[in-house]
Structure 1
Amino acid sequence: MKKVILVILVAVLSMQVGFAQETDLKDSPIDFSVDIKSNHLWRGLVITDKPMVAVFTSIKLNKSGSFTTGFWGGMAFSNESDGSSYKEINYYVQYAENGFSIALWDLFNTRGVANPDVWDYDKETSGHLLDLRTSYNFGESFPLRLEADFLLFGSGDGQYDQNLDFEQRYSTYVQVSYPLVKDAKVNLDGFVGAGFSLNGDTHLYGDGQENFDLVNVGLTASKTVMLGNYSLPVSTTVLWNPSLKYARVQLAFNLF
């Protein structure tokens, strides 16, 4: 893992030198970023405990950039203990302005799936999850961020009623986050997230026993490390999932 990170950092530094010389390039509506993380955590869930790389690509759909679309992809560097490997590709469209955002995401994670079918959108068999995401940030004077996300479709969030008919649980995730330390050499954010179901007795994020659980409580510390003229944003997150009764630490590098 150390060798992989070293090789990538050397490549990034070389790219930065090349980019610095190209000062006359015009602006583009397309941008992308690359992260390397020690594991992948999402809404209190451990998606993979293996080191992974994530790529996020965004495309502006209007001049101001309030409408965007794009994709997020992730892949583990090695297999899980059961021999399966983590791979994920997600698509999204989003509107964001004045602290408010609303987005529709199509999530497709193939970990543990023997024969994944990216074109399968049958509600009872599809590996896709349609995720409606909303958030609001109150601004610099009171930088509290509220988030509410709703799973609208997908067999991974389904259940069968008494007549054995398939129905969605509409698992919902809500989170409050706040910067405890900002504009410092090391910043610190705190967050608390809960999960519940709009249609059922259980939800995706908990232990399957309750309809409402605290599932994601933690802190994220972040700073920028200087490597010559190159700045490398680094963060570490510690989280607890009180429902599933586990905790994790994550180290993340934002390469560019």
Structure 2
Amino acid sequence: MKKILIVFVALITVQMGYAQKTESKDSPIDFNVDVKTNHLWRGLVITDKPMAAVFSQLRLNESGSFTTGFWGGMSFSNDADGTYYKEINYYIQYAENGFSIGLWDLFNTRNVATPDVWNYDKNTTTHLLDLRTSYTFNESFPLRLEADVLLYGSGDAQLNDDGDLEQRYSTYVEVSYPLITESKVNLRSFVGGAFSFNGDTHLYGDGKQNFDFVNVGLTASKTLKFSDVNFPVSATTLWNPSQKIARVQLAVGLF
């Protein structure tokens, strides 16, 4: 028995040494996990409860310019009405040379009595199809421009004169710029506004006008180091001037 144990330990030692010398193969699939004190999106408070978010990505070509994958989030506790925040999104995206364009399918089931992930009926679906575009200039001028349009979904619809639902095509535009870079703590500023192509109101504001500022704020970020592991941490402070709200968010990237 003692000899068997010695051989077993020796085999494990050899295997560990071999594993340290070899490198893992590159994979087209990757994912990461974030934990946040709340979930903020384009000036909206999606949930005020702590939550976890998982982002998975699959490279569709060798360079990685074409990707697809999923983003999902869930709160750790329920809201005052007893419901939990749960969301799953699907996307496909092209990104290269500072430009990106992607189509996202957003499916948030909070406050939905009977959620149906397969329901795409224009009058009852809780999906939102979101066209996202952005462009970041070069390193010497790292200004980032973003423009996103909601293309489909009853959550962004309004009643017309005939009593039928029609899309508002709520549009979110944002300008962001890094104020402090390559420091222990970096700082980025952002200003976002919203309007609709069809209608007098949009999804992100107070429902009283067609254009207003909805997302203004700052994000400070740094990296915490524990042994050989790095944890990116960010603190965001934002204001939605239209809805007259403000929030602070702390986010930690676990891996």
Unpaired runs of 5+ in structure 2?
1-18
Matched AA of 1:79: N
- CA shift, 1:229, in A, is 1.6
Name the SS of the counterpart of 1:215 in structure 2. Answer: strand
Matched AA of 1:49: D
CA distance in 1, matches of 2:124, 2:65: 34
1:36 is matched with which residue?
A: 35
1:120 is matched with which residue?
A: 119
TM alignment of 1:69-218, pairs within 5 A: 69-218=68-217
Matched AA of 1:164: G
Change (3 A) 1:160 1:26: same
1:252 is matched with which residue?
A: 251
1:182-227 Cα deviation digits (max 9, x unpaired): 0000000000000100000000000000000100000000000111
- CA shift, 1:23, in A, is 4.3
Change (3 A) 1:44 1:23: farther
CA distance in 1, matches of 2:147, 2:239: 19
Matched AA of 1:184: S
CA distance in 2, matches of 1:40, 1:88: 11
CA distance in 2, matches of 1:169, 1:106: 17
1:5-52 Cα deviation digits (max 9, x unpaired): xxxxxxxxxxxxxxx948421100000000000000000000000000
Unpaired runs of 5+ in structure 1?
1-19
Name the SS of the counterpart of 2:207 in structure 1. Answer: coil
Matched AA of 1:159: Q
CA distance in 1, matches of 2:171, 2:37: 27
Matched AA of 1:180: L
CA distance in 2, matches of 1:114, 1:22: 54
Matched AA of 1:59: L
1:56 is matched with which residue?
A: 55
1:69-125 Cα deviation digits (max 9, x unpaired): 000000000101110000000000000000000000000000111110000000110
CA distance in 2, matches of 1:22, 1:84: 49
CA distance in 1, matches of 2:32, 2:137: 26
CA distance in 1, matches of 2:55, 2:237: 23
- CA shift, 1:230, in A, is 1.1
2:3 is matched with which residue?
A: none
**Matched positions, count:** 237
* 1:225 is aligned to 2:199: no
CA distance in 2, matches of 1:47, 1:23: 44
2:25 is matched with which residue?
A: 26
TM-score by length of 1: 0.91
Matched AA of 2:143: L
Matched AA of 1:81: A
1:135-175 Cα deviation digits (max 9, x unpaired): 00002010000000000000000011111121100000000
CA distance in 1, matches of 2:64, 2:225: 30
CA distance in 1, matches of 2:215, 2:21: 43
Work out the percentage of aligned pairs sharing the same amino acid. Answer: 73
Stretches (4+) displaced over 6 A:
none
Matched AA of 1:253: V
1:9 is matched with which residue?
A: none
Q: What is the CA RMSD across the aligned residues, in angstroms?
A: 1.0
CA distance in 1, matches of 2:144, 2:254: 25
1:52-83 Cα deviation digits (max 9, x unpaired): 00000000000000000000000000101110
CA distance in 2, matches of 1:29, 1:137: 25
